[in-house]
């Protein structure tokens, strides 16, 4: 059941997306949104990728205007990554389109089932965010 729900959600997301970003690029944007100013190695660890692959991914996002790089004040060899205002606007627009697509389905569900689903999703989000974003934070503290 959970894989079916995930697949259907993916279909809804793709219908709502006119995103010029790949799934990997979206992951980068979401991570940077929660960990402003992390370094490339920390981002690579969070993506379970290599620094060279992550750097190329960031090159494309920077060329699209979604992220910015800045030198670290404490180590001139280190680069810190930030979402640009265009990157933030892109994520806000993407979320709005996704929410509208999901709301169309939710509006057709019985109220009691919709309430139960939303409560379950709140618990899921809290747990998943802790696993995903805390891992990036732990990695960042090890590289600091």
Domains along the chain with CATH numbers = 2-143 (1.10.10.10)
Q: Which pLDDT score, from 0 to 100, does residue 144 have?
A: 52
> 82: which strand partners?
68
Q: Is 11 exposed, middle or buried (0-12, 13-18, 19+ CB in 10 A)?
A: exposed
Residue 119: the pLDDT is 92
What pLDDT was estimated at residue 113? Answer: 94
Supply the DSSP symbol for 19.
Answer: -
Which segments in the chain show pLDDT lower than 70? 18-20, 133-144
């Amino acid at each position: 059941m959970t894989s079916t729900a995930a697949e259907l959600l993916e279909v809804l997301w793709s219908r709502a997306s006119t995103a010029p970003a790949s799934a990997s690029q979206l992951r980068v944007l979401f991570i940077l949104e929660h960990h402003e100013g992390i370094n490339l190695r920390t981002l690579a660890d969070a993506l379970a990728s290599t620094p060279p692959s992550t750097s190329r991914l960031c090159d494309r996002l920077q060329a699209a205007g979604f992220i910015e790089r800045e030198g670290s004040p404490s180590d001139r060899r280190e680069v810190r990554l930030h979402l640009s205002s265009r990157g933030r606007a892109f994520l806000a627009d993407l979320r709005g389109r996704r929410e509208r697509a999901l709301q169309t389905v939710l509006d057709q569900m019985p109220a009691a089932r919709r309430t139960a689903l939303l409560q379950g999703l709140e618990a899921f989000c809290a747990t998943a965010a802790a696993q995903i974003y805390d891992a990036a934070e732990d990695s960042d503290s090890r590289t600091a």
